[in-house]
Structure 1
Amino acid sequence: MRLDSIQAQTSKAEKLALIGAICIIAMLLLPSVNMVKTLLIQSGFVSLHQSGQAKAAQLASDIIEAPVNWALAETDIPVIKLDIKYQDWLLLEQDRNTALKKGQIQDQRAQVSGNVFFENQKFKASVRLQGDMLDHVASHNRWSLRVELKQKQALFSARRFSLLSSNVRIHQGPMLFAQTMRLAGFDIISPTYKPVRVILNGQDWGLMMFEQAFSQDMLATNNRTEGMIVRLDLYQQTASETQQLQRVLKPRVIQRNTILKNESLSKQRQIALALVNDFIDDKRIASDVFDAQRLGQYLATADVWGAWHALTWNNWRWYYNPHTAKLEPIQSDVAVTPAEHHWLMQPPSQSFLISKKMLEDPIVKRAYDAAISKLAAQFNSGTLLSKLGEYQADFMQQLHMSAPLVNAFDLDLLKTQVQCIVQGYLDTPCQNIMPMDPQLHRHMSSMVAQQSWDLVSELKHTEQASEFTIRNPGSQPLEIKGLTGVNSFELQFPLEDINAQMPFKLAQNAEISLVLPKELTQVKVTAGVTGQKKAQFTFIKDVQPLSFIPRPNPAADVKRYPFIEVSENTWKIRSGKWEIEDYIVTPADKNLIIDAGTHLRFTQGAGMMVFGKVTFQGSEQAPIVITRSEGVPYWAGITVFNHTNQTKSFVKHVQLSHASSPKLGLWQPRGSAYFIGGKVNIEGLSISDNYSEDALNIINGDVNITQLSIRNALSDAFDCDFCTGEVADSRFNDVGARSGGDGIDVSGSRLKISRTQFTNIRDKAISAGERSHLSVYDSQFKKINFALVAKDDSRIDGSRLAVEEVNHYALMSYSKKPYFGPGSMSVSEFTCSDTGCGQKVVTQIGSDLLVNGKQITPQPLSVKGLYQTVMKSDKPK
C-alpha cells in the first residue's frame, strides 16, 4: 500500500466543466447575460458549432488564444477621429435608446453635424445612426454610424460611408467574398471595406469597419460610368389562407433627388425603374433586364459562399449601366458565416423567388454554369484558396486589435461546396448537405411591381394640342405644385392658366388629363406623394420610359435595301453608292461587313446599331465614305456592341462625317461612332463635322488605333472610358466648336499615345482622369488652351513633347474629384516655344509634376474656379 498520493490528471470533461464554471461566475459578476453576450460578439466570437458542449469548448479555446491574438495584432491601422457636439450627441443617444425600447432602429432618425479628422485634415460632416437591427447599437460604444462628408471631400475614395463594428458584417466575410470575385476575374461592383480605428469625442472605440456607401463614388472607383443604383422597397404584402406570401415591391433609385436634378440621370432613372418593374411583373426575361454574365457570376459566388442573405429582396442592389441599358449586381450585405452548418447548403439561389426567376433564363443559367466551372477549376488548382488565405491572415491580424476572438473561415469548405454544386449533391458527403433552412427567411411565393406615378403618366401628341395625362397608382395622394412647358427651341412656357389651379392633389388610382399648347415638346412637373420631398420630373412628348432600349432585333428586315446581303452570321454591304432611310438594328452576334469603296448616305434620324462586330474593309485607294444624305443636317451615327470582350472589330480607311449620336427614346449615348466592349482596331479612320458630344466614343475597349483623324469636332474628339491599348500617328484638329472640347479624354484607362498632333483645341489636348495611366511620346501641341492634364489619381509619363501657342497651361496636375485623389505627371525632353513658358506649368498642393528633371513647386489651385471659367463646359445635350 502506497503512502504517497498520486497526482490526479484532469480529464477533458473536467476541464470543460471548470471553464464553464469560471464563465458562469464571470456572468454572475457582470450586470446581465445580455451584456456578456454582447461583449463576446463585439470581441469577435462566432459560434462554429451547434451543440452546447462544442460551443462551450470553442469559447474556452478562443478565450485562451485571445491574449496572444491581441498581443500580435496589427496596430498600424488608419485612425479616424470624429467629434460631435454634446447636444447633437444626445440626439443620437436618444435615437439609440428609442431603438432599444422598440426593438429596431426607427426610419426617422436625427442627422447631426460633426467634424472628421484624418491625417491632419479636417472634414465637415453630417452623421446619423446606420442600420435597422439592434446589433448596430447593442454595445455601449462602436455604434454603427453613417457619415457624409461636406464640400465634396472624400476619405478612402468615399464621400458617404459607414463606420461599423466588424461583427455587424461577420468580420472578414465581405472582404473574402469580394476577393473571391476579383481573383476569379468577375467584374462585380463591391464597396470599399477596410479596418480603421475610431476615436469618437476623445473616446477610443477601437477597430471598426469603414464601408463605402452605395453612391456615385462607389461606381467611379469600380470603373463605372456615372449612373444610378436601384433597390427595392416593400410597398405591401399579403398572405393567403395557406400562408402563401405575396409582396408588392416598388423599385427606387438611391439619392433620388440628386438624380432628378440631373437631366441625363433623370432619363436613365426612368429606364432603370421600368426595366425592373417589367422583370418583377414577368414582362421581360432576366437577360433582357440584367447583364447576364455578371449576374450569373454573382449568383454563382453567392451559392458557393452560402450567401443567402445577399439574395433576399431587400438586399439586392443594381447599377444601371447607361451604355448597355442593363442592370448589374452590386455586392450587398452578403453576411457570410464561418459556421459550417450555416455555410454548407444547397444553392440558396434556388430558394428565393427573384434569383430563381433569374436562373430560369437560359442565358443567365449558362453564365452561372460557366462561373461555377471557373471557380471549381481555380479552387481545385489551389491558387485561389492560397490567395484568399493570405488575405484572410492579414485581415484577421488587424481585426484582433479589438476583436481577438475572431476565428478564421475554413476556406477548404469553398472547395467542398463548389464540388457538390457541380456533381448535384449526389455523392457523400454532399448528400448530407440540405437546402437552405426555411426558418432563416420567410420566402415570398409571388411578387408584383408597384409603378411610380411618373412612369405611367405621359405627354402625347394630338392633332389639335398636346395632352398631358397624370396618373397616380399609389396609395397616397399625389401633390402637384406646378408645370412648365418647353418647346423644340428650349423656350419655356409658364402655363399660367393651369398653374393658377395649383397646387392640387390627385387621389389614389385617379388620373387627370390636361390640354397644353401643341408646340410643347416637354413638360416639367414639380410633384411628389404626400410626405415626400417634392422634385421636378420631365416628360417628353410621345416618349415612354422604354420607347427604345439598345437590344438586338431578331426580326430586322432589310429587304428594301438589296445591297445588304444577309447570311446566317453576317450582313455585307457591297461596294457602291447607297442611301439608308431607317435606323437599322441588327440581330445578335452579327458581323457587319462593308466593302472598300462603299459610299453610304443616311437620312436624318437614320443610322445603324450592330450587335456582334464590324469589319469595315476600306483602303487608301478606295475608302469607305459614310455621311448624311443631301439636304439634311446630320444622321444618327453608328453604334457597335461587340459580342464579347474578345470580339474584334476592324475599321480600316473610313471617312465618317456629319454624324450625331442616336437620340432614341430616353437612351441617348454621346458618340457618333460608338463602340462598347471588345477589341477595337482602327486604321485610317477620319471623323469630321460631327454633331454629337463625342466624335469617337469607346467604352471598356481594348484599342489599337493608328492614323485616326478627327477635325471640326463639336465637343470632345475622342473619349475613351476604361480602355487599354495604343493610339499612334493620329491628328486632332479644330476640336471644340463649343467649349468643353478635349482632344483625347480618358477615364480609368491605360493608353500609350505616340506621334500624335493636336492643333486648335478649345479645352485640353489630353485629359487623363479617374485613375488613368497614360504614356505620351513624340507628340506636338499647337494653339491649345491646355496641353496635358493629369487629374484624379491619374498619371501621365511623357517624353519628347513640344508645345506652342498655349493660352493657359501646358502641363497641369490636380484633383477635381476628391474621392480619387491627386494627379501626377513626369515629362522629359519637354519644349515650349512660348514666352513665359515657366508660368504655364502648374501643380496643385498634394499633386505632383516633374518637368525635365525639375520638381515643380505645388501651389493652391482653385479647381472649382477653373471649371467655372476657362474650363467651363457647354457641351450639347
Structure 2
Amino acid sequence: MKISRPQVENEVKKSQSFGFISHLRLALRSRFFRALAFCLVVLLAFILGIFAHSSGQLYSWVLWGHKAWAKTTQGLVVKVGSYRRNGLPTLYIDMPYESYYKILEKREEALRIGVLLTSDEDMVPAQIRYKDGETLEVDMRLKGDWVDHLESEKWSYRIHVENKGQIEGMRRFSIQAPETRNFLNEWAFHQHLAREGVLSPRYQFVNVVFNGDVKGVYALEESFSDELLESQGRRPGVILRFEEDPMWENTANFMEAGGNAILDEAIFAGFFQITDMNTSEVSVFRSGHVKDDPALSAQARMAVGLLQTFQRGELPASSVFDVELMGRFYALSDLWGAGHTTRWHNIRFYYNPVTGLLEPIAYDAIPLDDWWMRDGVAYPFADDQLFDDAAIQEAYVRELERVTREEYLEPIQSQLREEFDFLRSALDWEYSGDVLEPPWDDLEDRRLMLSEQLRPVQEVRGVYEFTSFPVGEGGDYLRFDISNLMVLPVEVIGFKVSGQPIPAKREMITASTEKYILPDKIVPTLRQGPMGERESLSAASFVVHFPNGLDVVSENAEFDVYAMVRILGLDELHEIPLLNYASSPVLSQGARPNAPSITEALALHHYLSLAGGGESLRVESGDWDVAGDLVLPEGVPLTIPPGTTLRFERGALLISTASVTILGTEEKPVTLTSQQESWGGVVVLGADNASSWEYARIENTAGSERSGWMLTGGITFYESPVHLTAVAITGSMAEDALNIIRSEYKIEFSEFGGLVSDAFDGDFTHGEIVECSFHDIGGDAVDISGSVLKIERSKFVNIADKALSAGEQSEIHALALTIESVGIGIASKDLSTVFIIQSEIIAAEHAALAAYIKKSEYGPAEIIAKELSVQNTETYALAQTGSIIIIDESIVESQDFDVGLLYDLGILGN
C-alpha cells in the first residue's frame, strides 16, 4: 500500500497563538493594504478635523492624544530596554507576507497531523540582521520533528544565509525555543564535547525580533557544514547521516489516521518501524556542493560505501568508525543522560579524509532529561549495531571510567561556570523556576551512579564439569560454562583450579553465543533490549586439560575453581567462581590497509627485525626494495638505522600508528625513495610518542588517493608529534610535500626543494621552523591554517606562490628571514596575524606583503612588520579594506579589491 503524504487544505485556520493581530500586521505590509489604509486614515482625519473645529474640541483632543502616546511609548521603551539589557546579541528577522503565509500553512499542516514533514520546497525568502551588522538575504523554513517546536509563540526555524553571508562564522543554522533542548543543559553538553575533541554544532543564545515582534531568547544551533568542521580543527569534508524521512512520513501516516493512540498501537504490534539503522538509506549533507567538488565526491563515495557495508554486516564498526572518538561520544552521552543524541536518526558522521574513518557528530542531545536518564550504563545504545563491536565497547568503558573519576568534573565546572551563570541571568527574565538550575549536582549524581555500575559485585556466573574431549580420545578435561551478567563485555583472563592458574586461550572455546576477534582476549557480551530489558545471557564453553599434579578422584570431586575476569577496558581483575568470551571473524579491509601482527609483518618484510625487547621493529642496515605497502603493526614503533635506503613501489606507503625514528648521520644519511618515478610517501597516524628524523632524504613522494582515503601530503603526521633535523625533502609531486595536522612539531636545519606544489602545510598545529632552506617551490613554501608558528633564520628562494601564508585564524612570529624571487612574500588571511622582524624581501612579483579575507566566514587579517627591507618590488603592501598592514608603526592605506578575481588571475595564488 502506498502511504500518501498528508495534504494541506486550501483554507488555513487561524491559530489561537496568532490571532487576528498577527494576521492584520502581515496584511498591512502588502502594498494594497497599505495604500487602502492610508486613504482611510486621511479621510477619517479630514472628517474628524471638521467636527472638532466646529465643536471647539480640537485642543483638548490633541492634548489627550499626546498623553496617550507618551504613556504607550514609555511602556514600550521599558520593555525593549529590559530585553536588550540581558547582554545577548539580537537577531532581527524580516519576512514578507507571501513567505509568512506559506510558513503559516506548513505550521497548520503539522499541528493537524502531529508531525512536521519538511523538504527543500518549504524554504521561503526573508532577511536577517545580526547585532548592528548588514542585512543578509536568507532562505528559511520551519524545523523540528514534533510539534513542540511550533505550539508556543516561539516557532523553530532552519536558516540558510545566501550570497556568502554569515553570522559568527555560520552560514547555516537553526533557531529554536530553549525549552526544546532542555534549556542551558544542551549548551553545556556541547561545550563539554568540544573540550573533549568530539564534534558537535556550535550552540549559543540570541534575542530574536521577528517582523518587529520581540520574541525573546532563542537557542541558535549550527547546521552541518564546512564551517562546523573548520571551527573544531577538522578539514572540510563529507558529513552524512542515516536517512530518517521515511520514518517520519510513516509516523505522520499513523497519527493522521488516529493520533497517538493508533501510533502507539502500531509500535506495540511491531509493524510501525519501516526503517532503522540497518535498513535506512545513507544521505550526504549538501550533496550538490559535494557533487561539484571531485575530491569531496570521491570522499563521499568512500564514506557512503563504508557506512552501507557496515549496515550489511560485511565490515565491523571498528573498521568503519574512529574507535576512540566513538567510545568517548558514548561515554559523555551516558554521563549527561543524553541518550537521545545516540539514536540512529539523530547521530551524524564526519568522514575524516586523513584517517579514512567516520567520526560521530553529537546533535539533538536533550541532556539530563528525565525520559532519557536511566540508572544503568550504555542506555539506550547497548543494543545498537554500531555499539555491538568489542573494540568500541572497550573504548567506551575506558572513557567512562575516566570521566567518572572523582576529580573529573571539577575542572569542567570551573571552565563553564562563569558563562553558564551569565546565560542563566540572560534567560532568567523570561523563564523561571528550576528549569535554569545548573546541571552540576545532577552530573555528580550520574557520575557516582555510573562509577558504581563499573564495579559490580559479580560480572559472570558459571559451572564446571569433568569431560572427555575430543570425543573418543579419552583423557581428563574440565569444561567451564560461563554466562555474562553484564551489559558490557567481560574479558576472561584465565582460571584457577585449586590454586593452579590456567591462562585462557582462544582454542579452549568450544561454543559461544557471541563471537568476536580481539588478540589474546576472550569476550562474551550480554545484549540489551530496546527499552532496557535484558533479552538473554551470552555464554561460552571452555574445555581445558586437567592440571598436572591434581588427581581426579571422581566426577563429583570438589575443587576451588575460579574464573579470572575483568570488564573489557578496565584493569581491575576479579576472581569469580567462573566466566567467559568468544572469537570473531577476520576483519575485512576498510579505507586504509589493515595493520598486521608483528609476526605477520616480519614474514612479509624480510628486512625487519625485532628490537626493544620485542616491543618495536627495526629495519636492518642496507639497500632494500619494499614490496607493496610497509604497514606496521598497531602501536609498534619503527627505527631506521644510519646508511639505510628503502625503495618503494609506485603508490606504496609507509604507514604507522606509532613513532618512526630515523637515525641517519651526516656521513650515512637514511634515504626513502621510489623504485620508479614516484611513491606514495610516509603516513604516521595517532602516535603517542614523537617521531624523530635526523639526516634523512625523502625523495619523489606523490601522496595517495585510494577510493576516498586521500592524503595530500607526501609525508603526513596526523595527531603525531614530530622533530625533523637535517632532513632534505626533494622532488615531491604531492600537493603538500610535508603535511602536519593537529600535532606539535619542530623542523630545523632542513631543506625543501624541487617541489611541484606546496612545501609545508600545517593544519591546526603548534610548531617551530629554524634555519631551514626552501627553494624552487611550485606553490607555497609554508602554508598554515588554524595554527601557531615561530620561524627564524630561514631562507626562501624561487617560490612560485607565497613564502609564508597564514590562514583561518593563524599566528606567525617570523624573525631574520630572507625571501627572494617569490610571487608574494607574506600573506595573512582570514583573521590571521603575522609578526615579522629584521627580515628582507627581494623581488616579489605581485607584492611583498598582502592581507585580505579569502573565506567570508572569517574576518580581516593583519601583518605587523618591523625593520623589514623590501627591494626590487613594485608593490610593497596590498591591504584589503578592513585588513591592516603596519610597517614600522605606519599603517598602510587599505583598498577594495576582488579577492576571487585576483586568485583567478594568479596574483594571490595558484
* Contact 2:226 2:237 (8 Å CA) reproduced: yes
Displacement after TM superposition at 1:364 (Å): 2.5
Instruction: Give the equivalent residue in structure 2 for 1:638.
Output: 682
Asked which structure has the greater CA Rg, the reply is 2
Displacement after TM superposition at 1:380 (Å): 6.0
Instruction: Give the equivalent residue in structure 2 for 1:825.
Output: 863
Q: Say yes or no: does 1:703 pair with 2:745.
A: yes
Q: Say yes or no: does 1:845 pair with 2:881.
A: yes
* Contact 1:72 1:397 (8 Å CA) reproduced: no
* Contact 1:163 1:208 (8 Å CA) reproduced: yes
The SS at the match of 1:590 is coil
Q: Say yes or no: does 1:564 pair with 2:608.
A: yes
Match 1:684 to one of 726, 731, 741: 726
Structure 1 unmatched ranges of 5 or more: 1-30, 37-66, 429-433, 447-544
Matches of 2:393 and 2:883 in 1, distance apart? 47
Matches of 2:380 and 2:268 in 1, distance apart? 19
Q: Say yes or no: does 1:611 pair with 2:623.
A: no
Q: Say yes or no: does 1:175 pair with 2:187.
A: yes
Amino acid at match of 1:633: E
Displacement after TM superposition at 1:155 (Å): 0.7
Matches of 2:325 and 2:169 in 1, distance apart? 24
Matches of 1:834 and 1:700 in 2, distance apart? 38
Matches of 1:328 and 1:856 in 2, distance apart? 44
Matches of 2:708 and 2:455 in 1, distance apart? 49
Change beyond 3 A, Cα 1:603–1:733: same
Displacement after TM superposition at 1:767 (Å): 1.0
Matches of 1:873 and 1:779 in 2, distance apart? 21
* Contact 2:799 2:822 (8 Å CA) reproduced: yes
Amino acid at match of 1:423: E
Instruction: Give the stretch that moved more between structures: 606-615 or 759-768.
Output: 606-615
Q: Say yes or no: does 1:263 pair with 2:294.
A: yes
* Contact 1:306 1:347 (8 Å CA) reproduced: no
Displacement after TM superposition at 1:358 (Å): 4.5
* Contact 2:142 2:157 (8 Å CA) reproduced: yes
Instruction: Give the equivalent residue in structure 1 for 2:525.
Output: none
Instruction: Give the equivalent residue in structure 2 for 1:800.
Output: 838
Matches of 1:670 and 1:854 in 2, distance apart? 39
Change beyond 3 A, Cα 1:291–1:834: same
Change beyond 3 A, Cα 1:297–1:401: same
* Contact 1:353 1:445 (8 Å CA) reproduced: no
Instruction: Give the equivalent residue in structure 1 for 2:411.
Output: 383
Instruction: Give the equivalent residue in structure 2 for 1:8.
Output: none
Q: Say yes or no: does 1:773 pair with 2:808.
A: no
The 5-angstrom pairing of residues 86-101 of structure 1 reads 86-101=97-112
Q: Say yes or no: does 1:713 pair with 2:713.
A: no
TM superposition score normalised by structure 2: 0.71
Amino acid at match of 2:399: A
Displacement after TM superposition at 1:443 (Å): 11
* Contact 2:169 2:858 (8 Å CA) reproduced: yes
Q: Say yes or no: does 1:653 pair with 2:695.
A: yes
Instruction: Give the equivalent residue in structure 2 for 1:229.
Output: 239
Matches of 2:267 and 2:294 in 1, distance apart? 41
Displacement after TM superposition at 1:683 (Å): 0.5
The 5-angstrom pairing of residues 361-440 of structure 1 reads 361-377=389-405, 379=407, 382-405=410-433, 406-424=435-453
Matches of 1:635 and 1:656 in 2, distance apart? 11
Q: Say yes or no: does 1:549 pair with 2:595.
A: no
Matches of 2:169 and 2:382 in 1, distance apart? 35
Matches of 2:327 and 2:906 in 1, distance apart? 46
Change beyond 3 A, Cα 1:321–1:550: farther
Per-residue CA distance 1:222-249 (angstroms, 9 max, x = gap): 1100111121124679989777967322
The 5-angstrom pairing of residues 111-150 of structure 1 reads 111-118=123-130, 119-140=132-153, 142-150=154-162
Instruction: Give the equivalent residue in structure 2 for 1:593.
Output: 639
Match 2:118 to one of 92, 103, 107: 107
Change beyond 3 A, Cα 1:258–1:847: same
Q: Percent identity?
A: 26
RMSD: 3.3
Matches of 1:243 and 1:397 in 2, distance apart? 47
Amino acid at match of 1:226: P
Count of matched residue pairs? 692
* Higher RCO, 1 vs 2 (CA within 8 Å, ≥6 residues apart): 1
Amino acid at match of 1:233: E
Amino acid at match of 1:850: I
Instruction: Give the equivalent residue in structure 1 for 2:24.
Output: none
Change beyond 3 A, Cα 1:780–1:378: farther
Matches of 1:231 and 1:795 in 2, distance apart? 37
Instruction: Give the equivalent residue in structure 2 for 1:868.
Output: 904
Instruction: Give the equivalent residue in structure 2 for 1:294.
Output: 325
* Contact 2:174 2:220 (8 Å CA) reproduced: yes
Displacement after TM superposition at 1:159 (Å): 0.7
* Contact 1:251 1:277 (8 Å CA) reproduced: yes
The SS at the match of 1:674 is strand
Matches of 1:151 and 1:574 in 2, distance apart? 59
* Contact 1:130 1:136 (8 Å CA) reproduced: yes
The SS at the match of 2:442 is helix
* Contact 2:118 2:143 (8 Å CA) reproduced: no
Amino acid at match of 1:149: V
Match 1:624 to one of 660, 670, 675: 670
Per-residue CA distance 1:559-615 (angstroms, 9 max, x = gap): 465332245433312222222232222221122211111122223233422232201
Matches of 2:595 and 2:605 in 1, distance apart? 19
Q: Say yes or no: does 1:279 pair with 2:310.
A: yes
Matches of 1:329 and 1:300 in 2, distance apart? 13
* Contact 1:781 1:803 (8 Å CA) reproduced: yes
The SS at the match of 1:788 is strand
Instruction: Give the equivalent residue in structure 1 for 2:74.
Output: none
The SS at the match of 1:752 is strand
Matches of 2:124 and 2:530 in 1, distance apart? 35
* Contact 1:546 1:665 (8 Å CA) reproduced: no
Instruction: Give the equivalent residue in structure 2 for 1:431.
Output: none
Displacement after TM superposition at 1:858 (Å): 2.6
* Contact 1:352 1:443 (8 Å CA) reproduced: no
* Contact 1:73 1:399 (8 Å CA) reproduced: no
Match 1:672 to one of 714, 729, 732: 714
Instruction: Give the equivalent residue in structure 1 for 2:25.
Output: none
Instruction: Give the equivalent residue in structure 2 for 1:352.
Output: 381
The SS at the match of 1:349 is coil
* Contact 2:356 2:591 (8 Å CA) reproduced: no
The SS at the match of 2:100 is helix
Displacement after TM superposition at 1:197 (Å): 1.6
Matches of 2:144 and 2:651 in 1, distance apart? 49
* Contact 1:792 1:814 (8 Å CA) reproduced: yes
Change beyond 3 A, Cα 1:227–1:410: closer
Instruction: Give the equivalent residue in structure 1 for 2:477.
Output: none
Amino acid at match of 2:161: L
Change beyond 3 A, Cα 1:120–1:391: closer
Change beyond 3 A, Cα 1:120–1:589: closer
Amino acid at match of 2:295: S
Structure 2 unmatched ranges of 5 or more: 1-13, 20-77, 251-265, 458-486, 489-527, 537-587
Matches of 2:534 and 2:884 in 1, distance apart? 56
The 5-angstrom pairing of residues 394-543 of structure 1 reads 394-405=422-433, 406-424=435-453
Instruction: Give the equivalent residue in structure 2 for 1:809.
Output: 847
Q: Say yes or no: does 1:191 pair with 2:219.
A: no
Matches of 2:679 and 2:272 in 1, distance apart? 54
* Contact 2:672 2:697 (8 Å CA) reproduced: yes
Amino acid at match of 2:879: T
